[in-house]
Amino acid sequence: MKSFKDKNTALPSQSRRVFLQGLAAGGVMTALGLRPSTAFAAASQQGAPELRGTTFDLVIDEMPVNFTGQTRTARTINGSIPGPTLRWREGEVVTLRVTNRLNEPTSLHWHGIILPFEMDGVPGLSYAGIAPGTTFVYRFRVNQSGTYWYHSHSGFQEQNAVYGAIVIDPAKPDRVVYDRDYVVMLSDWSDSSPDFIFNRLKTGDGYYNYVKPDLIDLYHQAQKEGVGTALEDRLMWDRMRMSPRDLLDVTGSTYTYLMNGSTPAGDWTAGFKPGEKIRLRFINGSSMSYFDVRIPGLKMTVVAADGQDVHPVTIDEFRFGVAETLDVIVEPSADQAYCLFAQSMDRSGYSRGTLTPHPDLRAPLPPMDPVPTLTMADMGMNMSGVDMEGMDMSGATPQSTMAGMDMSGTKPQPAMAGMDMSGTKPQPAMAGMDMSGTKPQPAMAGMDMSDTKPQPAMAGMDMNTAPMPGMGHSMSMGHPSRNPLDLPGLHNRQLKDGMLTIDWTPPTERGVGVDMKAQQVSLRLDDPGAGLRNNGRKVLTYSDLRSIDGPISDREPERGIELHLTGNMYRYIWGFNGVSYANATPIELNYGETVRVVLINDTMMNHPIHLHGMWSELEDGQGNYLARKHTLSVAPGHAVTYRVTANAIGRWAYHCHLLYHMTGGMFREVRVS
């Protein structure tokens, strides 16, 4: 095995790590006292137990586990990791009695399930949570079919293994024909406590990143691009105090990646007979990890995304973010084993399993792909070539738009043309803000907006006293349009070749919670993402998805809501439009209306954005309906547009599903009334 210095593995002490994983292939089973061989068989062959019916009893407890050779404490559901797979049927009423045996409150959220908000399972919004020693009864009608999952929405319990799969059989005959059906749940486990991880992210930027560019990378870049260009690029990243390989905040340096609760050495297996059609229900149940999934030697036909049937599309590989689900059909014809290979997006580790016609037959493990490297274009930087000479940098501070770039005596670089560095001084009301916890923080009422020039859509607004509602700024009503960029309130944008020039950002982005802003983002949905472009494999993109069922409403959106995904990596502050949850007001929707949401990613991180209680209906760049989803991933330097029909009264959560981003502030309440 190679050490972490090898870019294709990027794991510290990888050989020892895998050896230790082999000692504890069964995880929970090992903690129960089973021999390793027995534990391996139980965990790899069966996965999570399956519960069917309409009444379910679930117990959340804690117990010792061992995934790496070290015993730790995990929270479990009915004593297993993952928790039991719940099998429901569309149209039936289900009752779930959830008992809390922890010494702290807990909860269960039914991710992607359309239900009354009182049953949604989000403490502080839909209910108070489940107190220690008590039982809460969820009861609701199942109004959909497909692949979903459930997890705790309390603190960091999701990271500590409180999650499980949901499979809902359709009331009518299934559109998809298959012979076997397997859930494949991917997750990430750390021996470190979630509180420790969050503290490291708050105090040590890049703490878990072992693959930052080195001199060898600079040498190879110089060979391809020339010494001058390579040095200029490296200096640019250094001045921004950013790394082009900062792809995931938490990596395989602390994570062990699991497939149905089994470590890579545990090698979860599923049987088949050659010629059968096998349905694999992939669920990204991790806390912080994006996975790139492929099965070498097998094509995958995508038949459902986020539980909703789509027109079949055949692929070799897909990337999916936290909380997304994808159903595929595979048809192995040969009498051989196949590896289910899911490598983390930053290539710091992987999860694996095996499809096999014989219990003792295993597939070879494919090599890891090279570590992706972001470009300035990936970051949403304007690459027009106009330099920054003459730009006023006098107000820039380490908390400014470029997060501590030292501009003294430095000649601006051409590739940074058009970067907005204005108005970046720290705001009075946010000075010294304590973001270490989740308690309410001081309001932003005193934010100095006196130097802000009103934009056309905000003419006449007093920027010194204007409150910033949860949607960033109000949107006026407009005539129906097939182009999402034509809506009043979304500002006049220049759209060319799928690239959107950003000429306006919310005034609230001028605080210490924002360390960069995108200037030019892509609306194209056919980009597979960094590390997957031109790799010789057909990679699924959002542009490939076409829901079989039509949109919920045929009406054009009455108004638009523009939200920028923002953050400060060094303070580990996250938010929408530069505002963290503690300082945000709810997004207000009127019952029955249809709105268009435009998400613009101003950060260098991918963000899977989840709206509870209602569907997010993905559009293309011209406003045409594509697919119905509950979680939409937005890559750096990209924008995504989608419709929401406000057909569910109540208080709903809306957040990034990266657990530590949500805790760090990228969370809003949506109220429908």
β-pair partners for 670: 587, 652
Q: How confident is the model at residue 210 (pLDDT cuts 50, 70, 90)?
A: confident
Is the separation of the CB atoms in 654 and 667 below 8 Å? Answer: yes
Is the per-residue pLDDT at 46 higher than 70? Answer: no
Quick one: three-class SS letters along 629-656? ECEEEECCCEEEEEEEECCCCEEEEEEE
Distance CA 28, CA 198 (A): 25
Q: What is the pLDDT of residue 504?
A: 80
Phi/psi at 133 (nearest 5 deg)? 80, 10
Least reliable range by pLDDT among 44-48, 248-252, 620-624, 657-661: 44-48
Question: Regarding predicted confidence, which is higher, 398 or 336?
Answer: 336
Q: What is the pLDDT of residue 230?
A: 61
The whole-number average pLDDT for the span 273-287 is: 98
Question: Token match 């435009």: residue?
Answer: 598
Is the per-residue pLDDT at 607 higher than 50? Answer: yes
Q: What percent of the chain has pLDDT over 90?
A: 62
Residue type, 402: M
Q: What is the pLDDT of residue 12?
A: 33
Q: How many CB atoms lie within 10 A of CB 388?
A: 18
Question: Regarding predicted confidence, which is higher, 555 or 653?
Answer: 653
Q: What is the pLDDT of residue 34?
A: 39
Question: Regarding predicted confidence, which is higher, 31 or 379?
Answer: 379
Is the separation of the CB atoms in 378 and 530 below 8 Å? Answer: yes
Whether the bond between 264 and the residue before it is cis, its omega within 30 degrees of 0, is no
Kindly state the tokens that stand for 580.
């963290």
The whole-number average pLDDT for the span 602-615 is: 96
The whole-number average pLDDT for the span 655-666 is: 98
**What is the DSSP annotation of 462-486?**
-TTT----TTSS--------SSGGG
CB neighbour list of residue 394: distance below 8 Å, 6 or more residues apart: none
Distance, C-alpha 650 to centroid of its chain: 24
Q: What is the pLDDT of residue 214?
A: 57
Residue 644's region, left for phi above 0, alpha for psi from -120 to 50, else beta, is: beta
Is the per-residue pLDDT at 242 higher than 80? Answer: no
The whole-number average pLDDT for the span 628-648 is: 96
The whole-number average pLDDT for the span 169-184 is: 97
CB neighbour list of residue 414: distance below 8 Å, 6 or more residues apart: 385, 386, 387
Question: Regarding predicted confidence, which is higher, 387 or 62?
Answer: 62
Q: What is the pLDDT of residue 505?
A: 83
The whole-number average pLDDT for the span 478-502 is: 64
Return the beta strands (E) in 502-612 as ranges. Answer: 520-522, 559-568, 573-576, 587-589, 594-601, 607-611
Least reliable range by pLDDT among 206-215, 247-256, 407-416: 407-416
Residue positions counted in the chain:
673
Q: What is the pLDDT of residue 11?
A: 34
Kindly state the tokens that stand for 229.
């260009």
Least reliable range by pLDDT among 5-14, 580-589, 635-644, 647-656: 5-14
Total-model pTM: 0.80
Is the per-residue pLDDT at 288 higher than 50? Answer: yes
| 2, 186, 494, 564 from 459: Cα distances, Å | 60, 49, 20, 20
Is the per-residue pLDDT at 483 higher than 80? Answer: no
Distance CA 80, CA 359 (A): 23
Distance CA 279, CA 175 (A): 12
Q: How confident is the model at residue 503 (pLDDT cuts 50, 70, 90)?
A: confident
Q: What is the pLDDT of residue 519?
A: 85
Q: How confident is the model at residue 211 (pLDDT cuts 50, 70, 90)?
A: confident
Q: How many CB atoms lie within 10 A of CB 143?
A: 12
pLDDT tens string 418-476 = 333 333 333 333 333 333 333 333 333 333 333 333 333 333 222 222 222 222 232 32
Residue type, 200: R
User: What's the number of CA atoms in the CB half-sphere (13 Å) around residue 301?
Assistant: 14
The whole-number average pLDDT for the span 235-243 is: 59
What angle, rounded to 10 degrees, do the helices at 215-225 and 227-239 form? Answer: 130
Q: How confident is the model at residue 380 (pLDDT cuts 50, 70, 90)?
A: low
The whole-number average pLDDT for the span 499-526 is: 87
- Collapse the DSSP code of 504 into the 3-class scheme (helix H, G, I; strand E, B; otherwise coil) and give the result: coil
